[in-house]
């Protein structure tokens, strides 16, 4: 089924532009480091077992493959698609506040794409590769503020390097031994993590990872001028969706909603309310 067929007025020779990706150098307008208003502690040192550059390269390759598959099915939104333009506008407001959470983000080439699918899903891979499915926007009828909370949450997973940490933990002793061999001159450090990128779309984050992403995403969105209370209404919608008969709840299978999650967000909304109000005053 053609989910993003060109309108009749579009010439058949130009339904797709040569480049789908929305690219933005993270350091172009990076915000100055400021004191975080939410408390998520320091990142796990275990992530250092997996080379960040290698994982980001693997993520970029897997992301490109995913886009090519979507393009082949005519399910990749064209640049002029209203929902994709909306996502780009939200991303442009969020990305400048990413660098204080991870200095590597200065080097990332951020991309935001929209895929036509009934799945309620969205993600951000290492290196800033973001994708939304139309199902999460359409079925949940997300406002811009709620969409920003989803995007901020997914960006936070990448900024806090949860995938890098999770892969290090799942690889365990085997990965440590391979990296140890490299330090002794017995192997290639790049090869130790080169095959890990294929796991990125199937990783299950821990409850603490999800909590961190909720709070960091909340602060990112508040600094960008999005209403903090939208984090609560978002997860209320998620909870209602999980209790309904809607299909394709891929996002909720890895991001379960519940009273505890909503309570934690409610407790943290006041902490970032001043950031939101300052952002609105400053335009």
**Could you list the pLDDT tens digit for every one of the 283 residues in the chain?**
455 654 433 333 333 343 444 555 444 444 433 578 998 877 766 667 778 888 899 899 999 999 999 999 999 999 999 999 999 999 999 999 999 999 999 999 999 999 999 999 999 999 999 999 999 999 999 999 999 999 999 999 999 998 888 777 766 545 554 555 455 443 443 444 445 545 565 566 778 889 999 999 999 999 999 999 999 999 999 888 865 544 444 555 555 557 889 999 999 999 999 999 999 999 7
Q: Known catalytic residue: 53?
A: no
Report how far residue 125's alpha carbon sits from residue 270's, in angstroms, rounded to the nearest whole number: 29
* Structure tokens, 148: 């920003």
pLDDT digits (tens, 9 = 90+) for 271-281: 999 999 999 99
Closest CA to 81 of 150, 144, 155, 20: 20
State the catalytic residue, choosing from 56, 111, 146, 154: 154
Average pLDDT taken over every residue of the chain: 79
Report how far residue 187's alpha carbon sits from residue 46's, in angstroms, rounded to the nearest whole number: 20
The pTM (predicted TM-score) of the whole model is 0.81
Report how far residue 50's alpha carbon sits from residue 30's, in angstroms, rounded to the nearest whole number: 26
């Amino acid at each position: 089924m053609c989910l993003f067929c060109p309108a009749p007025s579009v010439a058949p020779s130009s339904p797709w532009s040569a480049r789908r990706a929305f690219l933005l150098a993270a350091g172009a307008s990076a915000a100055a480091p400021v004191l975080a208003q939410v408390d998520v502690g320091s990142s796990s040192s275990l992530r250092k077992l997996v080379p960040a550059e290698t994982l980001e390269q693997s993520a970029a390759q897997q992301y490109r493959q995913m886009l090519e598959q979507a393009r082949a099915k005519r399910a990749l939104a064209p640049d002029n698609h209203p929902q994709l333009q909306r996502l780009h506008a939200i991303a442009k407001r969020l990305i400048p506040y990413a660098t204080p959470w991870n200095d590597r983000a200065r080097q990332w080439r951020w991309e935001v794409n929209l895929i036509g699918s009934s799945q309620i899903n969205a993600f951000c891979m290492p290196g800033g590769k973001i994708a939304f499915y139309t199902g999460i926007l359409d079925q949940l009828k997300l406002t811009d503020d709620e969409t920003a909370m989803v995007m901020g949450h997914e960006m936070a997973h990448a900024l806090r390097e949860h995938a890098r940490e999770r892969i290090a933990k799942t690889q365990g002793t085997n990965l440590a031994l391979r990296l140890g061999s490299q330090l002794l001159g017995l192997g290639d450090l790049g090869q130790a993590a080169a095959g890990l990128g294929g796991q990125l779309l199937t990783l299950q984050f821990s409850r603490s990872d999800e909590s961190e992403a909720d709070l960091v995403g909340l602060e990112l969105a508040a600094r960008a001028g999005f209403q903090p209370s939208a984090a609560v209404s978002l997860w209320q919608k998620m909870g209602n969706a999980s209790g309904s008969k809607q299909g394709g709840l891929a996002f909720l299978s890895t991001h379960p909603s519940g009273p505890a999650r909503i309570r934690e967000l409610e407790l943290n909304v006041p902490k970032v309310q001043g950031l939101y109000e300052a952002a609105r005053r400053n335009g």
